[in-house]
Amino acid sequence: MSSKSEDVLLQVSQVRYKKGDGTLYLMSERLAWILDHKDTVSVSHRYADIKLQKISPEGKPKIQLQVVLHDNTTSTFQFVSRQGTAAAIKERDKVKDLLVTLLPKFKRKVNKELEEKNRLLSENPGLLQLYKDLVITEVVTSEEFWNTHAAAYIKKNDHTKQKIGISGAFLADIKPQTDGCNGLKYNLTPDIMESVFRTYPAVRQKHKESVPHKMTEAQFWTKFFQSHYFHRDRINAGTKDLFTECAKIDDQVMSKEMAEGLDDPLVDLSSFQDVNLDDGYGSVTDLKGNTQNIVHQNMIKRFNQHSIMVMKAWQSNSTENQQQFSNNLGGLINGTSNNNNNNPPSSRKSADNVSEDESVVKKKKKIQEKLIYEDLEEGEVTKAPAPLKLNLSKVERYLQGPSTSDDSGSGTIEIDPHSLRDISRRQKEDARSWPLHSDNQILVPPSTAVASLGELTPGGALMKAHHDDSLAQVVSDQLALEVKRLYCSSSELLRHFWACFPPTTPELETKAEQMYNALRRFHNARIKPFENKVMLDYSPLSQQLTSHLNQLLKTAYNKYEAWHARRKSLGVR
């Protein structure tokens, strides 16, 4: 038995699986079920492959536990203890509780790349059909399909979502409603949840660790609003509080920010004392501030900490954008490398001097913002700009427009009235001698013309081989759709095949050979079975539907064979 080399954490007998009784084993890395009087494992699931577990509701006659895997397949185990229903429920709960502790340790991260591929296939029916025609039929491999044939779709959907800003009052905007039982009901939107996660990264981490294998989404947010994390005025915090660590982390962040200081030199986060102006126009500290309630100080700290976290969330977005922009530039500015390591010592010393004067410059700037009002200044900034002069080469033409020419000799042409009379007389003579107004024996009689048209119409003597129904009317919609799918798949393969010619590099030569083999496999796997099907169901159309498609493939085959023969004649393999 395989359990001899593994640690068995729990063993439960009298467990039924698919009408067979056996024993359920919970080992160190997997769950196994063995049929009674057998030594081989019938069911085995690694904890890393288990997505979640489900149990039967209370009151059901069958005491069951269901294991759901990542590929959505399930295995259901029924506990049938001879000691009764209570013993079966107790055994089922033991297995459930042990799985609750084991599954998070082996929890496999969801493959985001796989989710993105599934989303692309579900949103693009054409890509899904191409995947079925090429990958399912083993014409190309899955890796080759996603790297070559689906690259355009991936590039089209590869865009970074712009993050919105965070409102400083997003928590105050949550309006709780009473449920009528001395309780409050919060309506949380995805935007509010994302704002909480971005403002408090510790809460995001707790959410990843707890949801969904430890608690549901609703239970998590209920504990969030009930916790010490939002009631810091409580003196004693519960040891089992989920967000106790979050509060400690936020206090550390607050202490770090206070140690580093802010850009505003006029703000002191560590001061909680009221400062008043004395009679001598000086500042004096209010002695009553020493006896200030600790609750008030904690409230001020929470406000400052909340504002700092909101600003840090905004700064993280701007930092990412700047970093991406700098990566696109490649570290080159005006054709020179932006490398600080190669700076001379003199430039470093100047940078140190600048950093020393930054605090003074910032303080002066803040004081000027408090004292100077731009709308009251009478400097050159508020003066109206000087009017621009319009330079005209010809002022008269701009004011009056284009004038007519004064040269009277070039504007008119005199015509002799006698020549006009001659022209009119010749036109009238030509009109009288036109062939339509005279007897012409060459014209076809009307009866002959009608008889000729009758012979050229469908059913006539000259149209006996014509079919009244066109090809589009004979072919069904389902057959036309299948022909369309064949054209789409073959066109995709042909597009990549012809892109390899001329194969000037070894990579193009390898790809040309791969695409040629893919075309051959596609021809045998998809086109020939389709032709056989059409020959049985629509015998007159068997050659017409795929004739053009076969011509396209034959042209590609001839191209590859000619290129391959030329390489062989040159002694190149």
DSSP 373-390: -GGG--STTTSPPPPPP-
- The per-residue pLDDT for 523 is 92
Q: Which amino acid is residue 16, in one-letter code?
A: R
Residue 77, burial from CB neighbour count under 10 angstroms (0-12, 13-18, 19+):
buried
Is residue 383 exposed (0-12), middle (13-18) or buried (19+ Cβ within 10 Å)? exposed
Instruction: Specify the pLDDT at position 348.
Output: 45
Token look-up 């002066």 returns 364
Q: How far is CA 236 from CA 50, 343, 424, in A?
A: 39, 55, 118
Residues of the chain with pLDDT under 50: 1, 3-4, 289, 291, 325-349, 351, 406-410, 466, 468
Pairing, β 184-185 against β 30-35: unpaired
pLDDT at 268: 65
